[in-house]
Structure 1
Amino acid sequence: MATSPTRKQVTHDRILQTAARAIRRGGYGGVGVADIMKEAGLTHGGFYAHFPSRDAMLAAAIERAGQENAERLSRHNAEQARLGVHPLRTLVESYLSEAHLATPERGCPVAALLSEMPRQAVPVRDASRVRVRALMQRVHQAMPDATVEQARAVAATLVGALQMARALGGAEGKAVLAACRQTLLDQYTLSPQRRST
């Protein structure tokens, strides 16, 4: 029989959800304990009942962000698989979509945070590496006939394209997404289908 979560568990989850959105929206450096607690509707003083430090919260937040993104992608993949869409096509079109471009706070934490990862404290760097490896693994699962090196190259292209598109913004950013989307689909000879934006 399932038990209801405790009040502390519910509060902990609210902090993590808030932090997971905040790091993708504003980067690691843009996330302060007081701001997270305020956004979560909690007092600053209650933070240390849940995390020993800001870095511990950031490490947990990137893990949560990765889990949320993986769950979203898995649901989308399952829907597309039922329609007979190749898993790599689904991944490429979803990752390099205009919706993902416009909503970093709900998207892939690797694309949102990659350039900041090497400069973080060890626990945050370690948690970040786990997310990068998970993305590469997801890409490899979508292209099982490819080598590990090819999957890594595709993963790097996805992340780099999204980062460049966000940096450029507007029509120019969308053009980068479209070009990379088309190039990846052409390179891996996926049959033509209607492409999402």
Structure 2
Amino acid sequence: MSPTYLKLPLKLPSSNMLVFIRTYRQAQRSTGPKSQEGEFRTLQLTPAKNNRSGPMKKRPKPVYKEVLPPRYLRMSTDQDWTNVWPTATTFKQSVVPLPITQGYVASDKENKGLPIEKRANSELMKIPNFFHLTPNHIRKHCAAIKQYCTPWPEELNSDEACEYYLPIQITRHDYLNSTPSIRDTRARVVKFNVIILR
């Protein structure tokens, strides 16, 4: 229903009041021929077979890429590990060719108490790893920074000589915990000693 307003000549009564008259007109129904489905037509998102302008195109079949096996299955046994794991990074199960496990299944259902394998193991991703600090890694790092270093003074051949000529001593502590967090507040304490009296 849509509101319509009648235009009437305005005659002010003696009491000086304005009067508006509003009427409603009902929407007219369609008088055309009705379809077989009733008054409303069917919504066709795709054209009907008899109304198509040409042959319907077939959808192309989806192309799935071949999933490669994990990298550790394709690695050779004599591959240089420093190229595989060059820097400190989160544990990647597809790269490490070792059967590493951490944690256990705590559910009351099957596999209770068994260690979790390395695939999709969140416990291995939480902790820091030292795959980037093998002896070969350290040799490579030392060779890379050797050009920026000076030879060790020959005079400093004993601990007493080092304490005399280098009177600064820094002491810090690292702690290993069997807890969910790798942090320890005691590791924040660092001692800085300067030897003054000789």
Using structure 2 for the length normalisation, give the TM-score.
0.23
More contact order relative to length (CA 8 Å, sep ≥ 6): 1
Of Structure 1 and Structure 2, the greater strand share is in: 2
Q: TM-score, normalised by structure 1?
A: 0.23
Rg larger in structure: 2
